[in-house]
Chains A and B, each alone.
Chain A
Amino acid sequence: MADIKKVISYLIPLIFLILVAMWLFVGSFPQLKERVGDVKKYISFGAEKELGPQPTIPEDHKKQIERLLKTMREMKESTVNNCFANYGGFSNLGEKGTSLHFIYDSLNDKTLVTVKGGSEGEQIVELEEGKGMIELPGVKLCVIGGGSVPSSFFNKVLKENYPRDTTPTSHFTEVSSIEVRFDTAGVGWDGNVIKTGLSNVDTNNNFQDGGWLFTPDNTHICFFPTRYDPGAGRNSCEAEEGGLQNSCTLDVTKLSSIPYLYGRGWLSECNPEKEYRWIEANLLRGSPGEGLVSGKCLNGRGCFAYGKSCFKKYLDADVGPSSNCRLLLTLEGDTCGYFAVPPGSKIQHQGERNELQKDLRYYGHDSDGNTETDLSNQMVNPNLKIVLASPDDPILTCGNNGLWNTRGLTETLFRSEVLFSPDACSDTTDNDGNGKVDCEDQSCSTNLACIAFVGDGSISKITCFDSLDNENVMKETEVIVENTPGKIDCLDPICEGIEYKDQKCVGGEVIALMT
């Protein structure tokens, strides 16, 4: 016991001395103090801490997800069956980045969506404050993938040649959950993936959907898992067990691809309220004819001209002010081009005034799609006459936002009279092809329409109408026209009701008046 006391009695002063010495020396010798200070840099006490910020995802991912959810809700509300919609697609979601998790709640008939991101991509992100899960009531999940479903879908919906397959096989696969995320699978195969739990569907880089969604019944909303298409050079795409080839969703030049068919108006858009920057018509060059509003291209996505020899993509940014709508014309032959159409312009029914001729400029491209030419001066009649062919077609209006209001538009025929000539007035065929007009008379060009009354082998007068339908006789002359029967231009809606030489246009036909 005495020994322990002795040891302790030595220890205490010893420790005390060390402490005092450290205090004294450190305080008294700057060099030593500096060295101790250096040591302090490498030694600290207490575990490092960090606070956790609220989980977020990149702003562009957020916008893409919001667009997807908005599109899915619109598809649910739509009354159009077997229709398509485009949400714009996803950019690279990033390794340990953003992911989406859809799960169908059968008990409550709704789909719940969770977005994950933040640290390590593992945290639930609230797109709306306090909502870790977003509900899509009444929405069921499906994919165009698994077994024979892609083939069935292809044959029923995308097949280029009619008749399409009408056998009652299912063309979609219902699934209970879907996950979308980025996946690293090796060089060339890194990319976004869609996981569904279906065998042969969940593979690498299988979500190149081009932003397309499909609903067969406004209840199921289907995603498109994809397969790599090795068939460059083919003009079509194919279906595989795992899904459609990626060219079916991405490549507008493949004749059976969704963007090609949708752009031609051959696939139904789910949202009848959709507004388009572009509409497209196909016309015969050099003669009037009926055009089909066959193409509808969404705002911001540009538009591909349809023509057997004119694949030209017109980008919104390259074709003038965004305040204008676009009317894309492809001509049989080798040129395609566009009109910039100002807001307020309308394509209306026969008998109603159309105003498309204002400030129209036509830019043409040759078959290689590279050379742009202003072809406006080649138009014999600078007044583009374009009216809707069917009274059932919706009026197409260019809105103030430079977007066509094509509400309810699926396939709309319009009749057009757009003439082209290498030399503006050397071709003196009138706009109906039924006589001669004085092309030197430019006063017609400032009015809304111009017709020529032809009778007894001569043009008796050239009449222009203003926007209030007031007739202005611009010229009365005698021009000999061989073998041309006298008639009223009943194809022109403004002739409706006009009497000329005991004749009148009624319902688009000339009738003889009793005198």
Chain B
Amino acid sequence: MKLSKKAIAAGFLVLLVIALVSFFLLAGTYIKFSEKGEEKQKAALCKDSVRLRAATAVNLAGQEIKYSPLLCQTIDKKVSGSPEEVQKAIADSMATCWQMFGEGQYKKNIFDSISTFGGDARCFLCYTVAVDPSTKFKVNTIRNLDFMQYLSTTPYRTYGEGASKREEKYIQYIQSGAGRGYFYGFLTEEGIKPGRAYGVMYKAKHADIGAGGAAIGAVGAGTALASFFTGNVVGLFGGAYLAGSALISAVDTMLQNPTNIDGIFLVDISDPDLRQAFLGGDAHCSYVSDAAGG
């Protein structure tokens, strides 16, 4: 049977429409099915959706309009092994989270559908990493300082060959591996130890929280309070361990502090104060829901 040209064109169009619809339907379905799926698949899907969102953004007179949806889902994982293995697992999660959201390369807040002055404070919980309670460390805990040193001294990836071979540490990767970034650790005196869970978050750059005059006041206070976060090893706020409402307030103010670069946070979510500060209803970093509705 010989098809007419009209019929071929019509068929192509129908296929195209079906493909597009299927993509969105299947993506949702895929995510639901993949809740127990591989970490890499989820990370790859998120990363691709971020790239698609960025690639399809329309820049109209300085305003970026993004319409492609993000297909990211919080990845829950449990880690065990030696302190070295646990540190690597967490550090890799941080690096992957950074990779998922474009490695800080996008000039505008990737979450905002319409960019304004830099967007609101928005965060995404990439990972929850639970350290298996049955894990036994030789020493009781991985201290904040030890983990900070691990990130500073352990290579994440290497470039080149032979004499020109160059190692890029985790911190270097997040800060300047591609775009610009920073890292904060919000850990308690407990450090990293079996039986506790840690959240790895991506925080997008932003100008303010969009509350007009209230935000301006917060910016002033935020500048002062943000400085409490000492050397990226927290729980420690300017030498003192804060807790309760003081801690929550300090975190709130810090999150409001406008930053023009993206960041990665590591948060001890076993600590009720930190959990409340970052994930509670009043958290000032508006959490972007994951694609599974979480």
Tell me the minimal C-beta distance from A124 to chain B in angstroms: 6
Contact yes or no, B181 A52, CB < 8 A? yes
Report A191-214 CB contacts with B as 1/0, cut-off 8 Å: 001011110001000000000000
For B153, list chain A residues within 8 Å (CB): 130, 132
Tell me the minimal C-beta distance from A261 to chain B in angstroms: 29
For B60, list chain A residues within 8 Å (CB): 42-43
> How far apart sit A197 and B227, CA to CA, in the bound complex (Å)?
11
Q: Which of A8, A47, A52, A202 contacts B10 (CB 8 A)?
A: A8
B231 interfacial contact with A, CB 8 Å: yes
Residues of A44-59 whose CB lies within 8 A of B: 44-55
Q: Which of A49, A105, A118, A195 contacts B175 (CB 8 A)?
A: A118
Contact yes or no, B13 A177, CB < 8 A? no
Q: Which of A12, A130, A183 contacts B227 (CB 8 A)?
A: A183
Contact sample, A vs B, 10 pairs, CB 8 Å cutoff: A47-B59, A48-B64, A54-B175, A119-B180, A120-B182, A123-B176, A130-B153, A133-B149, A184-B220, A195-B239
Chain A residue, CB-CB nearest to B106: A47
Q: Which of B9, B54, B171, B238 contacts A195 (CB 8 A)?
A: B238
Chain A residue, CB-CB nearest to B231: A101
Contact yes or no, A12 B107, CB < 8 A? no
For A202, list chain B residues within 8 Å (CB): 238
Give the residue among A5, A122, A130, A178 with the most B Cβ atoms within 10 A: A122
Contact yes or no, A196 B239, CB < 8 A? yes
Report B68-112 CB contacts with A as 1/0, cut-off 8 Å: 000000000000000000000000000000000000111110100
B143 interfacial contact with A, CB 8 Å: yes
Given A50-B179, A124-B175, A177-B230: A184 touches B223 (CB 8 Å cut-off): yes
Residues of B231-275 whose CB lies within 8 A of A: 231-233, 236-240, 259-261, 263
Add 16 more A-B contacts to A123-B261, A133-B152 (CB < 8 A): A12-B6, A45-B56, A47-B53, A47-B59, A48-B59, A48-B107, A50-B105, A50-B180, A119-B260, A122-B259, A130-B153, A179-B230, A195-B227, A196-B238, A197-B237, A202-B238
Chain A residue, CB-CB nearest to B228: A195
Contact yes or no, A132 B176, CB < 8 A? no
Contact yes or no, B179 A47, CB < 8 A? no
Contact yes or no, B169 A119, CB < 8 A? no
Contact yes or no, A105 B6, CB < 8 A? no
For B261, list chain A residues within 8 Å (CB): 52, 119-120, 122-123
B58 interfacial contact with A, CB 8 Å: yes
B224 interfacial contact with A, CB 8 Å: yes
Contact yes or no, B238 A50, CB < 8 A? no
For A161, list chain B residues within 8 Å (CB): none
> How far apart sit A317 and B237, CA to CA, in the bound complex (Å)?
44
Residues of B176-232 whose CB lies within 8 A of A: 176-183, 220, 223-224, 227-228, 230-232
Residues of A within 8 A of B (CB): 5, 8-9, 11-12, 42-55, 95, 99, 101-103, 105, 107, 112, 114, 118-120, 122-124, 130-133, 175-179, 181, 183-185, 193, 195-198, 202
Given A47-B54, A48-B107, A183-B224: A197 touches B238 (CB 8 Å cut-off): yes
Tell me the minimal C-beta distance from B158 to chain A in angstroms: 13
Chain B residue, CB-CB nearest to A110: B145
Contact yes or no, A99 B107, CB < 8 A? no
Contact yes or no, A132 B152, CB < 8 A? yes
Contact yes or no, A47 B239, CB < 8 A? no
> How far apart sit A265 and B108, CA to CA, in the bound complex (Å)?
58
B292 interfacial contact with A, CB 8 Å: no
Tell me the minimal C-beta distance from B100 to chain A in angstroms: 15
Residues of B within 8 A of A (CB): 6, 9-10, 13-14, 53-61, 64, 66, 104-108, 110, 143, 145, 148-149, 151-153, 167, 169, 171-172, 175-183, 220, 223-224, 227-228, 230-233, 236-240, 259-261, 263
Contact yes or no, A11 B13, CB < 8 A? yes
The 8 closest A-B CB pairs, nearest first, are: A197-B239, A101-B231, A52-B180, A197-B240, A132-B152, A47-B54, A122-B182, A195-B238
For B223, list chain A residues within 8 Å (CB): 95, 183-184
For B263, list chain A residues within 8 Å (CB): 122
Contact yes or no, B106 A52, CB < 8 A? no
Contact yes or no, A52 B227, CB < 8 A? no
For B105, list chain A residues within 8 Å (CB): 49-52
Given A47-B107, A114-B231: A55 touches B175 (CB 8 Å cut-off): yes
> How far apart sit A42 and B57, CA to CA, in the bound complex (Å)?
13
For B236, list chain A residues within 8 Å (CB): 103, 176-177, 197
Tell me the minimal C-beta distance from B50 to chain A in angstroms: 10
Contact yes or no, B182 A176, CB < 8 A? no
Contact yes or no, B238 A185, CB < 8 A? no
Tell me the minimal C-beta distance from B225 to chain A in angstroms: 10
For B237, list chain A residues within 8 Å (CB): 197
> How far apart sit A54 and B230, CA to CA, in the bound complex (Å)?
21
Contact yes or no, B148 A133, CB < 8 A? yes
Contact yes or no, A112 B231, CB < 8 A? yes
For A183, list chain B residues within 8 Å (CB): 223-224, 227
For B224, list chain A residues within 8 Å (CB): 183-185
Contact yes or no, B152 A103, CB < 8 A? no
Given A12-B6, A47-B108, A119-B260: A101 touches B152 (CB 8 Å cut-off): no
> How far apart sit A132 and B233, CA to CA, in the bound complex (Å)?
13
Contact yes or no, A130 B148, CB < 8 A? no
For B259, list chain A residues within 8 Å (CB): 120, 122
Tell me the minimal C-beta distance from B52 to chain A in angstroms: 11
Chain B residue, CB-CB nearest to A102: B231
Tell me the minimal C-beta distance from B177 to chain A in angstroms: 7
Tell me the minimal C-beta distance from A199 to chain B in angstroms: 9
For B58, list chain A residues within 8 Å (CB): 43-45
Tell me the minimal C-beta distance from B60 to chain A in angstroms: 6
Contact yes or no, A49 B232, CB < 8 A? no
Given A45-B58, A48-B64: A123 touches B239 (CB 8 Å cut-off): no
> How far apart sit A198 and B240, CA to CA, in the bound complex (Å)?
8
Q: Which of A12, A177, A178 contacts B9 (CB 8 A)?
A: A12
Tell me the minimal C-beta distance from B137 to chain A in angstroms: 14
Chain B residue, CB-CB nearest to A181: B227
Given A55-B175, A123-B180, A185-B224: A45 touches B59 (CB 8 Å cut-off): yes
> How far apart sit A52 and B143, CA to CA, in the bound complex (Å)?
30
Contact yes or no, A52 B145, CB < 8 A? no
For B233, list chain A residues within 8 Å (CB): 103
For B61, list chain A residues within 8 Å (CB): 42-43
Contact yes or no, B178 A51, CB < 8 A? yes
> How far apart sit A292 and B110, CA to CA, in the bound complex (Å)?
70
Q: Which of B10, B54, B231, B239 contacts A46 (CB 8 A)?
A: B54
Contact yes or no, B59 A107, CB < 8 A? no
Contact yes or no, A52 B182, CB < 8 A? no
> How far apart sit A130 and B236, CA to CA, in the bound complex (Å)?
25
> How far apart sit A9 and B261, CA to CA, in the bound complex (Å)?
50
Given A52-B179, A55-B175: A198 touches B239 (CB 8 Å cut-off): yes
Contact yes or no, B107 A49, CB < 8 A? yes
Give the residue among A46, A124, A130, A176 with the most B Cβ atoms within 10 A: A124
Chain A residue, CB-CB nearest to B237: A197
Contact yes or no, A49 B10, CB < 8 A? no
Contact yes or no, B59 A49, CB < 8 A? no
Contact yes or no, B64 A47, CB < 8 A? yes
